[in-house]
């Protein structure tokens, strides 16, 4: 009953994906493992069976452990709605909006919330793999830190620091992290991990030897760059606009389908498009170019954390006109959550978009004869098929026919739903692609794969990362160090965990 913290020298150093891989590797060894991230900042979220929401990275890590997501895996979630404010979600439930400055005032009690959640998980599982947030070297935030050394101190955790060598300067990042933090925090660092290495490792070895001489900390593993990791990306903004998502696939028929997903400024749950990219003959890419959107077989407007602001962005960029022209001529458009709301007639939002004229409907794209009104209480639903809903906006009036059960809208080649993850349902996705092919005049030439499994594709990527852990880290030694860390530190310092 213990835990280990994987921190990173920077954001996107590989913490999320390496934590998922370690979860998978240890689960395959027969341990009961749980993921944990005290504080996550992301608009990619998932809904737990209990009804609360957590960051999608922790939902992926739960899948790596063979678990359903639970709110304790990510007790604090910040969902940015602008550059200055975020929605604060605590133990799965929205608590209102906070600014960067006002959030600091919450951190003391939130650290207690996080530590208690971690303590509960340690009682329930053999090992908890804890993912840090951002960089632990932000000394200006140390006094109120929730997710890095503040948590490590509260729960007496061993810490391993991950550095991304693909960015350059990894030795300086690791050395600087060790030396800028307080010596009591630095003493918790048990090892360094190099991520995304390419080339001959022997050339790197002298640098790692010198790093150990200067810090006393060993490098426990050098992970190679693993090509083809793309499912459940933490941040869609890392994707290159116009570049295909995922690996290239060969069409089973004589035609392909092209999908343009609008990369909104405040896109949320961007992973909704990934299941389509797993299909042979389907080319999916993020788009901001009106010509790309005009010529694609299917256009997807994904979710948004700031629906009205992103709607205005569509109008300002000319994309709104292209989308409505497509709709008028019966060419396929799919809106998911916020994207669905943008396709409606009006949106009244006094929750995410505060204005000088409250309760005033804002004209939307007008594709569906449906009105949306935002409610203060967020809808959080996890459906039996794994799809889920996370939204404040509610349908207040519609003359349209529903699409999925009694939910959403469907008219010809126009589709709208509040459900995220629906396309991960293999049977549903195949039927949807057949419809799209028919509407595009490719019903006889585009062949839908009968056996593509999105879950298998996801697990294959998790297994690939777990394999890398087994190949490049002495996991037995790692586990031994994690198991004995608290005993050793309590003996030498007299300190005990203080969640």
Tell me which of 173, 392, 418, 420 is the catalytic residue: 420
Beta carbons within 10 angstroms of residue 353's beta carbon? 18
The C-alpha atoms of residue 168 and residue 164 are separated, in whole angstroms, by 8
H helical segments located in 191-273: 201-215
Tell me which of 23, 48, 278, 337 is the catalytic residue: 337
424 alpha-carbon distance from chain centroid: 15
Range 210-234 burial, b when 16+ CB lie within 10 A, else e: ebeeebebebbbbbeebeebbbbbb
421 φ/ψ angles, rounded to the nearest 5 degrees: 75, 5
> Do residues 40 and 114 touch, judged by C-beta distance below 8 A?
no
Q: Look-up: residue for tokens 């150990």? A: 212
User: Are β-strands 333-336 and 362-363 bridged in parallel, bridged antiparallel, or unpaired?
Assistant: unpaired
List the beta strands (DSSP E) in 62-181: 76-80, 85-90, 93-99, 127-131, 159-164
Task: Look at residue 186 and give its three-state secondary structure.
Answer: helix
Residue 337 among the catalytic residues: yes
| Eight-class DSSP state of 445 | T
List the beta strands (DSSP E) in 166-207: 189-197
* Active-site annotation, residues: 337, 420
């Amino acid at each position: 009953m213990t835990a280990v913290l994987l921190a990173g020298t920077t954001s996107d150093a590989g913490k999320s994906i390496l934590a998922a891989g370690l979860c998978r590797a240890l689960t395959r060894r027969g341990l009961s493992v749980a993921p944990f991230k005290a504080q996550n900042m992301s608009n990619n979220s998932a809904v737990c069976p209990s009804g609360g929401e957590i960051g999608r990275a922790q939902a992926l890590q739960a899948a790596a452990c063979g678990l359903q997501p639970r709110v304790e895996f990510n007790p604090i979630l910040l969902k940015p709605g602008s550059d200055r404010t975020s929605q604060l979600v605590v133990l799965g439930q929205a608590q209102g909006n906070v600014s960067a400055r006002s959030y600091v005032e919450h951190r003391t009690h939130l650290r207690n919330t996080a530590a208690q959640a971690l303590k509960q998980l340690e009682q329930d599982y053999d090992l908890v793999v804890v993912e840090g947030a951002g960089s632990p070297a932000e000394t200006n935030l140390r006094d109120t830190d929730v997710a890095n050394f503040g948590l490590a101190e509260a729960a007496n955790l061993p810490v391993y620091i991950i550095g991304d060598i693909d960015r350059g300067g990894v030795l300086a990042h690791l050395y600087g992290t060790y030396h800028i933090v307080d010596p009591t925090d630095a003493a918790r660092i048990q090892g360094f991990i190099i991520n995304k290495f390419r080339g001959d490792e022997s050339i790197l070895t002298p640098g790692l030897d010198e790093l150990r001489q200067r810090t006393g900390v060993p490098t426990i593993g050098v992970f190679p760059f693993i090509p083809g990791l793309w499912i459940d990306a933490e941040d869609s903004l890392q994707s290159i606009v116009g570049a295909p998502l995922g690996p290239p696939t060969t069409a089973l028929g004589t035609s392909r389908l092209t999908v343009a997903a609008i990369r909104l400024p405040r896109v949320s749950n961007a992973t909704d498009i990934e299941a389509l990219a797993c299909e042979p003959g389907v080319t999916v890419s993020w788009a901001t170019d009106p010509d790309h959107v005009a010529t694609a077989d299917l256009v997807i407007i994904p979710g948004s954390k700031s629906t009205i602001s992103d709607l205005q962005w569509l109008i300002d960029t000319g994309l709104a006109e292209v989308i409505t022209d497509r709709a008028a001529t019966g060419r396929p458009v799919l809106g998911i959550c916020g994207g669905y709301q943008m396709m409606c007639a009006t949106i009244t939002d006094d929750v995410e978009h505060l204005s000088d004229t409250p309760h005033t409907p804002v004209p939307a794209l007008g594709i569906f004869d449906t009105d949306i009104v935002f409610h203060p209480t967020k809808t959080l639903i996890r459906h039996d098929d794994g799809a889920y809903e996370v939204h404040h906006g509610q349908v207040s009036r519609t003359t349209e026919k529903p699409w999925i059960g009694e939910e959403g809208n469907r008219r010809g080649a126009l589709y709208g739903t509040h459900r995220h993850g629906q396309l991960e349902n293999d049977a549903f996705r195949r039927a949807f692609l057949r419809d799209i092919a028919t509407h595009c005049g490719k019903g006889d030439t585009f062949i839908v794969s009968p056996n593509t499994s999105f879950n298998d594709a996801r697990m294959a990527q998790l297994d690939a990362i777990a394999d890398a852990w087994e190949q490049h880290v002495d996991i037995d030694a790692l586990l031994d160090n994690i198991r004995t860390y608290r005993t050793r530190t309590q003996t030498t310092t007299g300190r005990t965990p203080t969640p």
